[in-house]
Structure 1
Amino acid sequence: MKQRMMMAALLAIIASPVCAATLSGAPRILDGNTIEIEQTKIRLSGIEAPETDQICLDAHGQKWACGIAARDELIKHSNGRTWDCHTTGVDVYRRSLGNCFIAGEDVNAWMVRSGWALLSARSAASYAIYEVVASNAYAGIWSGAFIAPWDWRHRNQSTIIIGASSVPSDVQELLLGSALLTDPPSQECLIKGTVGRKGERIYHLPGQNSYEQIDMTKNLGERWLCSESEATALGWRKAAR
């Protein structure tokens, strides 16, 4: 009972107005979910964009780095403009949770409407129509087949694959095969993230002693990362050597 009370108190603090703030500026975009303004990392609320290491299938059944594409489309849409982000609370990685706007346009909603993100469990009900619009238009990741970002992080052979009405017969092997991430999704994403025995998330840079010995097909908890800023924003720490 005492533990439950402590957890309830912690959640109340996290969600309290004390954690609320408004930040403005041209952001550094780390991935389709995460930006940085004035050294504050902000997680876009209510949406789930593909992870930067995530692979999808396009309209022709070919593999593509949809997580990198989602990030790059957000960078293109931002185009160096000023964002206004209203934050309330933090997530498990201590990122501020925020709704962001560019000249009054809801960026979170734009990501869903353009097919570069899905609704999360905490999304606004008004966003639902945007996901329908994106799926009907085969926009973004809806152009082919993909795994929901929350399932991608914990995928296995029974993970559901969604998207286009017709997919290749070998879709399971293409998106769930053990050798899927043997190579990085992009040549800019060369950082290796590994999970230790106690669940500790550690990233390894090219040139570090352990880098070449890491087999990225061995454990699905392992992933490629594109920058140290992205890694730290997602709760990874740098390997000692």
Structure 2
Amino acid sequence: MKPLLGLFVLMLTGGIADAAPSLRVVDGDTLELSGVVYRLHGIDAPEAGQKCTKPDGKSWACGKVAISVLEELVLGQDVRCDDRGQDDYGRTIGVCTVGTRDINARMVVTGNAWAFRKYSADYADLEDKAHQDHVGVWQADTQPPWEYRAEKWAVAQQESPNGCPIKGNISENGHIYHAPWSPWYTKTKVSVDKGEHWFCSEADAIKAGWRAPYWGR
């Protein structure tokens, strides 16, 4: 009984380390840490279904690569994120680090994200260097993600009911919404009779209880 008694004492005194925080990569510039969704400050990664261009004119799955690179940087690591307020979707904006390594910066340095200059110039110099070195998304002229989203949105808005193009789907994975740039957008059907919805914005979908898909593993 002594070993069990010793274990009980350790638990009461905090002698057993707390469980590791849960960590999930949502997409190339978003992760979920201990239930908090962090939008990486100052960067914008290609969307999950976005393709980029190679020097020979062929395309490559830059969105999927960005997700994989972020996973390699953070999964299994002690990740810390600061809090710089919230965006319009309730996500916490932050710089995430592993030790002294700035994860946001690494995504830009490796050419797997743009510096999101519309909101911050913090990583502009790193982007300029990546562009100069033709790494990642800078191998050839590539549409930045904010233009990609705007283009997809404009097309879907014309084809959706009342100009509200976000699809609120209900599945075994829960209430999940798909924006026009989602890889599953065209395959997703909205059955209003089953309680599914069309939304005019991501904020509306989140407020109604839907969440964005997780593209990481």
Taking structure 2 as the reference length, the TM-score comes to 0.64
> Residue in 1 aligned with 2:115?
119
Q: 1:223 is matched with which residue: 179, 182, 187?
A: 182
- Paired residues of 1:47 and 1:108 also in contact (CA < 8 A): yes
**What amino acid sits opposite 2:162 in the alignment?**
R
**What amino acid sits opposite 1:109 in the alignment?**
A
- Deviation above 3 Å: which 4+ runs of structure 1? 203-207, 220-223, 234-238
> Residue in 1 aligned with 2:57?
61
> Residue in 1 aligned with 2:92?
96
1:30 aligns with 2:26: yes
Taking structure 1 as the reference length, the TM-score comes to 0.58
* Count of matched residue pairs: 159
Structure-2 change in CA distance of 1:74 and 1:134 (3 Å)? same
Q: 2:72 is matched with which residue: 69, 76, 94?
A: 76
1:199 aligns with 2:199: no
Which of these two proteins has the greater Rg computed from alpha carbons? Answer: 2
Q: Which secondary structure state, in structure 2, belongs to the residue aligned with residue 61 of structure 1?
A: coil
Q: Percent identity?
A: 30
Q: Distance in 2 between matches of 1:195 and 1:98?
A: 34
Unaligned runs of 5+ in 1: 1-23, 157-177, 179-193, 208-219, 227-233
1:132-171, aligned counterparts within 5 Å? Answer: 132-155=128-151
Q: Distance in 1 between matches of 2:100 and 2:33?
A: 17
**What amino acid sits opposite 2:104 in the alignment?**
N
**What amino acid sits opposite 2:57 in the alignment?**
G
Q: Distance in 2 between matches of 1:94 and 1:37?
A: 14
Q: Distance in 2 between matches of 1:140 and 1:204?
A: 33
